[in-house]
Structure 1
Amino acid sequence: MGKAARKKNKAPKVREVFVAQPFEGLAAEPELIALREFVPSATAPLPLADAGREVTLATVLPGAAAAFVRTDERVFVGLQVQTRSSDISRDLGRSLKWALDAKPGDVLSVPDTTTPGGEGERLQDLLLTDAELEVTVHANFDWWLPEDADADGEVKLSLDRANEAIMPTERLGTGSYWVLAGEKAHLRWVRPEPENKLLQALARLSAAGELGLGEGSRYAGSFRAHGLLVPVWDLDPEAHAREWAGPAEQLGARLDRALASLDEKPLDAAERRARDGLIGRQLTLR
């Protein structure tokens, strides 16, 4: 075969385009980001568009697997995995489709990140897009095993290591989580609003002295994760998570009012300075 023929028969390269907001269009977007990025141990039933086999979404599975089926036939798909492609939603959709056909004991170690994209593979194609996630936060990873199963050998070692590394975490609201990280406690809150509008609302609260959660708290900054902004507050580690639930709810109400006011009243000079200060305390996570 000549050079011309080989060039003609060569398959065209498919350029992978990075999807910066992979969960866009899903009502569960803030929760998916939180479970993917910083919640250590949590599960939630997946709201499948095609009701049939029940599937549980999990933060992390044994060995950071993409999916597995327990011996009691319960099906799990993991968010925190070892590899990813340019589109996390497609990775998860493929893992979900694999899990729906898997048998007890089957494990998908890594998601399919190399096959060219096809139709109907993303989470947006497979889930009820307007459904929220009913998240359960766990104090350990004992849910990796069926209730009547005992861990032994390598499984026990893996479970023990995972349980020892876990940081106490509690859910305060949608996309909002308290975590005790050593000697520090934080509130991390994945917000669904466009970044620029959210920053303006945060700036309005900051200029008014209303950005905190009360005594023992301070606004620490924010980071970007999968297209959304995640504000972070430092909290008094001596206070229990439940003590911050009320203040967090009140802050959410103030933030909603600030967001609504932006359509009627643009930022004034003090608020613009506050916004510039907030922008200076950002970092990006992918």
Structure 2
Amino acid sequence: MDLDLAQLRALDAAVTHGTLDAAARALHITPSAVSQRIRALEASLGRVLLVRSKPVAVTESGAAALRVARQLDALAGALALDLAGEEGSRRLIPLGVNADSLATWVLPALAGLDGLDFEFHREDQDYTVSYLRDGTVMAAITADSAPVQGCTVEPLGVMRYVPTAEREFAARWFPHGVTAAALREAPYVDFDRKDDLQHRYLRKHRVDEATPPRNQVPASADFVAAVRLGFGWGMIPMVQQPQAGDDVIVLDEHGIDVPLYWQQWNLRSPALDRVREAILAGAAVLRSGR
């Protein structure tokens, strides 16, 4: 199969920027040229790749083509840097990261990597692999140990989540510690509908998650703030406990352990290798037993 790099780049630009007009501006060509390149690629592959909506969306076949397009672009960029040897040249690395890792250890781990820019796609650790499958990201932190096709996987460690509450809240709702009866009555804080941690802890105590009052706060720092302000109890990672402050307490040290893994494209890229090394080093906090 002969693949045209210009056609693949047109597909990538359309998906990245959302419209054919925006893709044309990014590629410095006309919208008609973008459309023609994508249609030519669809004709050569015999598949419809793009849904012309706003923003545009890829079909299942389009996701596979997009992944190849972005991998080839990464290889071409690495080759250009090797041949030119230009200092100051930069590479954009799109990564899939769960919110709690992004709020705690990932940013410090990646700080100081000169010549690299990052595009973070935040998603629950159970769902970040979807970004790898459709080619949106080059690598992801995920709870899935099964490698996505065309990717390698390495264990990072375990993020332990423990039920945490503001002191006065704990005294009011959990005067005798964590019990099923208390969990049925006490309000709790949820991250979003995809976050299953609070529900898993409730089910562990044979409590239906629909029974207690629920507050939804879909941002990692704000989630911790909501717990600290007494909106409810919530599952906070041990690595995030220092951010919670002294006015909160851990209700139960035997929380829920979530193993995390690093999955990345199975290709040789000096830029991606640097990111991998930084992530593996930064993840030492997950292996410290905290």
Q: TM-score, normalised by structure 2?
A: 0.23
More RCO (CA 8 Å, sep 6+): 2
Q: TM-score, normalised by structure 1?
A: 0.24
